[in-house]
Structure 1
């Protein structure tokens, strides 16, 4: 049996731990200790099948692999070691609880590590030394899409039937999520660094999902795309999100006062029929409703005189040009869909009220920072931070594109601040001070001979009243 554990983002005062039990039928509830003291779980303690369709030899049709999300009461501030025990195996997690608020500079503030686009086949081990190079340990890690490339390499023939397809894709996930246990290069250095949140992009499924891809024969028919989409979604939910699949939503909310964060899944619920102009072509109605509620929460805070800052994350960039119609068969962006107008409307409403918003993303295989001014008031209120890739797919580094100049029909005036091409992660340190929050962005290269961190930009986020 193989046992794996990693920290997830939980509410203040709660440790949330993803536990995977591989190669065991009907695993019992695991036992936990915190700093050597036995700890009871809070709430349900249940394992769910990992839907990779692996079956234990001699067990009939019983699933061989399982995962669950377990919650423990935090003993208080500071770093703690949680040890998970099950069937004679142990796995440890070093974590601290998520802070309830962004603190002032003397207390270190709140730090997020932002990363995306990881091609495990090309990983030469650069992530292994990352923790020792960070100026400070982050409070959370956001993986913003393409954590796996299920459709690569291109010459690989994906099975055209089940259970073979899910088993092959599940093996790819195991190389990423169980790299510590398998003693190979993988995502473990990021997954163990701090409580983690994930959102998907197309390579959690296939290039330009849910549309057909001309270089992937397994996407040529609606039936084959549906099979691949189902397998990809199951594994995304089981490995990246964890817990009860029925509980997963298209939007995740995280609150670290005064930051109101919403992480959008703008990939999994795209219209498989290719309706770019459909009412819910980009995301589900429930996800859109959550986005509007996020907008209203920001507005209510602002009207009440509270300091509030919006943070919105999605798997594709905001300050990009819409691809021409003839290239959408290769790569459809957020801007390809009519429902993208809802995202723009929400940002327009929040920025017109004077509330700063930070948009976080990945996808494009370069990193960039851009600012946008709300034309009506002259306030810099919208900022895009993109971190990509962690580990580049085959091919040369991608040249960075400047931000679009006509964002939302020129209601916003954009400005390019900085950009970088190459394997990288970014840290974003938020520091509270008076009626503002300072955002300090640092780049950590992951390839080449120059691995020293590079301070990119300090941006002051100040609401307008």
Structure 2
């Protein structure tokens, strides 16, 4: 089973034909494509948070136009269509959102009006062609290898229920935590947690929410977990820390610049699972950047140099 994962594509960062990353991903022949947030950018420096002031009608039109432009980008359009043709237990396209495709930079759900949240959810579901049965966009899918079910990927929503950061502030919300607990109880195989907001790989992640982060750690205590995320316009591989057995793997910057005009990105990751091992390769614009192998029996890893 091979999963390609990436995040952060701002079609305004250059001509659509420059998005070569999708052709590179297609060459890997993945079974799944996971898009982990910031599929579009409602705002970008130096115009951060401008959508906060827009009318609902203008917000809807701007978001629709941005999705339409990205979804019609050569390479991405072909890859998305090809992966959608495989949709089901053996493959397909799945994902979640982060701040820039939810509303605006660093937006928490408590800051965004109910109408704008509804518009975001409607358009995300339409273009991604998924239909989560709950508020927000959290859901899970079964994962298969060689025709056999091997586990599940759980997609979390770190925006819809969130409040502004603080030790006792809410990130996931009670309903989503109960969903996550149930999903973990039901699964004894491979578990991939997927979210737009990283945990330890940035100062703007889950650790700003002390209580919810502690609750997550309690739920996954001594569970073999691979956490996939984006957001930071960099690739990163973080081994388990503390009392968890969770690897955090970030691939961010499919088509975006690190800063306003410089630092062009072409980042993506490949998770290649066999019963014996899980290979995780992170690619940047120059080629293979990191390669780590997780032994599925011991859940220990080795970096390949």
TM-score, with structure 1 as normaliser:
0.53
| 1:425 matched to 2:297 | no
- Give 1:269 shift: 1.8
2:9 aligns with 118
Q: Which has the larger radius of gyration?
A: 1
The CA distance in 1 between the partners of 2:281 and 2:201, in whole Å, is: 22
2:96 aligns with 199
The CA distance in 1 between the partners of 2:35 and 2:24, in whole Å, is: 20
2:303 aligns with none
The CA distance in 2 between the partners of 1:360 and 1:133, in whole Å, is: 17
Runs of 4+ in structure 1 displaced over 6 angstroms? none
| 1:456 matched to 2:291 | yes
Check whether the contact 1:210–1:225 (CA below 8 A) recurs between aligned residues: no
Check whether the contact 1:390–1:423 (CA below 8 A) recurs between aligned residues: yes
SS at match of 2:34: strand
| CA RMSD after TM alignment | 3.1
The CA distance in 2 between the partners of 1:311 and 1:292, in whole Å, is: 14
1:339 aligns with 212
Check whether the contact 2:239–2:246 (CA below 8 A) recurs between aligned residues: yes
Residues 130 and 168 of structure 1, relative CA distance in 2, 3 Å threshold:
closer
- Give 1:310 shift: 2.0
Q: Which protein has the bigger helix share?
A: 2
The CA distance in 2 between the partners of 1:391 and 1:151, in whole Å, is: 15
Q: Deviations over 1:366-422 (max 9, x none)?
A: 0011212565xxxx932111101111242444xxxxxxxxxxxxxxxxxxxxxxx94
Check whether the contact 2:282–2:289 (CA below 8 A) recurs between aligned residues: yes
Check whether the contact 1:317–1:361 (CA below 8 A) recurs between aligned residues: yes
Check whether the contact 1:390–1:424 (CA below 8 A) recurs between aligned residues: yes
The CA distance in 1 between the partners of 2:253 and 2:129, in whole Å, is: 21
Query: Please, which runs of 5 or more residues in structure 1 have no aligned partner?
Result: 1-109, 213-221, 302-307, 324-331, 398-420
- Give 1:167 shift: 1.5
Check whether the contact 2:239–2:247 (CA below 8 A) recurs between aligned residues: yes
The CA distance in 2 between the partners of 1:316 and 1:246, in whole Å, is: 22
1:293 aligns with 182
Residues paired across the two proteins, number: 279
- Give 1:234 shift: 3.0
- Give 1:115 shift: 0.4
- Give 1:171 shift: 1.2
SS at match of 1:173: helix
Alignment of 1:340-419 (within 5 A): 340-348=213-221, 351=222, 355-372=223-240, 381-393=245-257, 394-397=260-263
The CA distance in 1 between the partners of 2:241 and 2:167, in whole Å, is: 28
The CA distance in 2 between the partners of 1:362 and 1:444, in whole Å, is: 13
TM-score, with structure 2 as normaliser:
0.78
2:124 aligns with 236
User: Of the two structures, which has the highest relative contact order with CA contacts closer than 8 Å and spacing of 6 or more?
Assistant: 2
